[in-house]
Chain A
Amino acid sequence: MTKPLVLILGAGSDIAKAVAHHFAALGHPLQLAARNTAALQADQTDIALRYGVGVTVHAFDALAIQTHESFVTALPDLPEIAVCAVGLMGQQAENERDIQAACRVMRTNFEGPASILAVLANRFEARGNGTLVGISSVAGERGRATNYVYGAAKAGFTAFLSGLRNRLAKRGVHVVTVLPGFVATQMTVGMNLPAKLTAQPQDVARAIARAVERKTNILYVYPIWRLIMGIIRNIPEQVFKRMVL
């Protein structure tokens, strides 16, 4: 019996690659989508060789929202599971000076992911089943001086996923919001992250597959992050605004 087809959007990222390997190892065929498809060819061959599953590669630009309908229509099969790993951290200092840069961060983390998931949501709803997984961020739980542009975009995406889940709950379509916390990836190379709070991409992938299976709504990869963000959300603004976080 073949397992449900998994579409991975933003397939070039470290988390996306780990998710691809994990689902393929479980026997799921994959559709890998990213802007730079040439860079995905080696991964396509590697995953197909290792796990003996079908893997196709598709050009996808998260920012070209006018193409999203046709992108989904052109897929050889409509996937059962779609994981959106599109994201861009950017540099907060640059985002403060350069509104173009800030817009790119906001569009990549919110507009693009929301747009493609909206298209997929409608197709899944029409079909009456499917799972949408959005990789958002704990940074969206409260804006902080050090990365509020990224955080604001992720907050928007988290709210969007929440609304989508609410809308589709009775239509057979499940939505998972992933809040990974710190993850050791290319995005965080050079950051001094606390080891005990930092997940590996493989941990995120395993947690996502389990969340899809169990229909988890909001996934914290390490449960401690639920507590940490609970505390951060509840610090009174009078105090919070003077804190260095």
Chain B
Amino acid sequence: MLAARTLQPRSVDALRDIVLCEPDMIARGNGRAYGDSAVNTAATIDMRRFNRMLAFDPATGQLVAEAGVLLGDIIAAFLPRGWFPMVTPGTKFVTLGGAIAADVHGKNHHKDGSFRACVDWIDVMGLDGDIRRCTPNDPTPLFDHTLGGMGLTGIILRAALRLRPVQSAWMRQTTIPAPNLKAAMAAFETAQDATYSVAWIDCLPTGSHLGRSLVMLAEHATPSDLSPDQKLDPFQINPKRKLSVPLDFPAFCLNRLTVRAFNALYYRAGAQKSGEQLVDWDSYFYPLDAILGWNRIYGSKGFVQFQCVLPLNRADSGLSALLNAIAKAGSPSFLSVLKRFGPQNSAFSFPMEGYTLALDFAVTPQTLALLDRLDQITLDHGGRFYLAKDSRMTADTLRASDRRVGDFTAHRDSLGLQSRFKSAQSERLAL
């Protein structure tokens, strides 16, 4: 647990004073990174006061907004007018600045790339308090290193992003049961044309059921997909009741047996529902947002996330090794997600063409040992790690996984950023 001094500037001038005066600092959005990415005990700058939308061009779908605007705000404002974020992570409670800093990805990465793909420009405040507008075509590395740079290149202040035109608030979802990893990967490879694809994967079975998954494909529904009632107002979905987890579950609630039972039921239910379904955007993209405080099911010790990506040619053997290690350790991962990434061109972002596996575990000594083992398997197969989910990796592991670290730190060094813009994570990883 870290206690940090938080500053909450309300204007660009107030922000500039902080940047010029504080010895070192990091900007923070809505705190949805899982680890210590946006924490600096000396000065954490809460950017949520910068939450205004500045301009929208309905001809191009380009929205200009301040960094503290949430993706959920963008959806609330623009989905009724037929626009949706081009790329969205699994929660709508992220800020625009956070989405850029982590260069988040969504279920359409294989088709549309990471968040970077929809960003036209970014305004970044540097150490001198000046604001520089950077674009993908600049000769300097500021844009490239700000995407995925975890806020370490300066303070992300504003950005222009392109939204996607959609014809309804509904998703046409197809579920494909896959009895094992090979079948799941085959389903992803066959579904390269689907706009969205993701698999829920059961990490407990071994042998012929290793990697048992439900592969879920989806498209934005068109009016012809909707019922007569839905067609009347295609952007309207029924408001959902918010569920919340009111207290930390006792540690015994999530164990190998309960997770095994849940997974078996979930797989069978999914297999029965296989085929097409109409699902609203909120349930499809953000199932966990409906359960406020869902992380409390892991009890007071909390949980730890793990997400790696393996290159395409070694994904099969690497994923098998990861899944075998998890099954052998018997540590239940409640939410495990497998996803095919498409090509990615960027300087420090997480994705690469291949397969990504996201897991979460309750914190115990056994799971920490397992995570070290998973790190090693990832390294052995040429994979790398998602910094937005990392809270425990070592600087050596990061360097062994990613040769781009040298360029990133050289950029920081050349501008004197290393001693000024820093987080608990950047210190741990020596970035």
Which A residues lie at the B interface, using CB under 8 A?
42-43, 45-46, 49-52, 186, 189
- Choose from A46, A186, A189 the contact partner of B53 (Cβ within 8 Å): A46
Given contacts A50-B73, A50-B76, A186-B10, contact A45 B81 (CB under 8 A): no
Interface of B is mostly: mixed
A45–B52 CB distance below 8 A: yes
Cβ B54 vs Cβ A45 within 8 A: yes
B73: chain A residues at CB < 8 Å are: 50
Report A145 CB to chain B, min CB distance, Å.
30
Q: CB-CB contacts of B316-341 with A at 8 A, as 1s and 0s?
A: 00000000000000000000000000
A50→B10 contact, CB < 8 A: no
Do residues B54 and A42 form an inter-chain contact, with CB atoms below 8 A?
yes
The answer to whether A45 touches B77 (Cβ under 8 A) is: no
Q: Contacts A52-B81, A186-B10; is A45 near B55 (CB within 8 Å)?
A: yes
| Interchain CA distance A186-B11 in the complex, whole Å | 12
Residues of B within 8 A of A189 (CB): 8
Complex interface: chain B residues within 8 A of A43 (CB): 52
- Tell me if B303 counts as interface (CB < 8 A to partner A): no
User: How distant is the Cα of A51 from the Cα of B56 in the complex, in angstroms?
Assistant: 13
Q: Indicate which residue in B8, B10, B54 contacts A46 across the interface (CB closer than 8 Å).
A: B54
Question: A186: shortest Cβ distance to chain B, in Å?
Answer: 7
Number of interface residues of B (CB under 8 A): 12
* Residues in B lying within 8 Å of A, measured CB to CB: 8, 10, 52-56, 73, 76-77, 80-81
Expressed in whole angstroms, the Cα–Cα distance for A241 and B68 within the complex equals 47
Contacts of B55 in A (CB 8 A): 45, 49
12 A-B pairs besides A49-B77, A51-B77 with CB distance below 8 A are A42-B54, A43-B52, A45-B54, A45-B55, A46-B52, A46-B53, A49-B54, A49-B55, A50-B53, A50-B73, A186-B10, A189-B8
Interface centre among A42, A49, A52 (most CB of B within 10 A): A49
Give the CA-CA distance A165 to B52 in the complex, in Å.
36
A146 smallest CB distance to B (angstroms): 25
Q: A42 to B11: give the CA distance in the assembly, Å.
A: 12
Give bound CA distance, A45 to B55, whole Å: 7
Give complex CA distance A115, B53 in Å.
Answer: 34
A-B contact pairs, 12 of them (CB 8 A): A42-B52, A42-B54, A43-B52, A45-B53, A46-B52, A46-B54, A49-B53, A49-B54, A49-B55, A50-B53, A50-B76, A50-B77
| Cβ contacts under 8 Å, A50 to chain B | 53, 73, 76-77
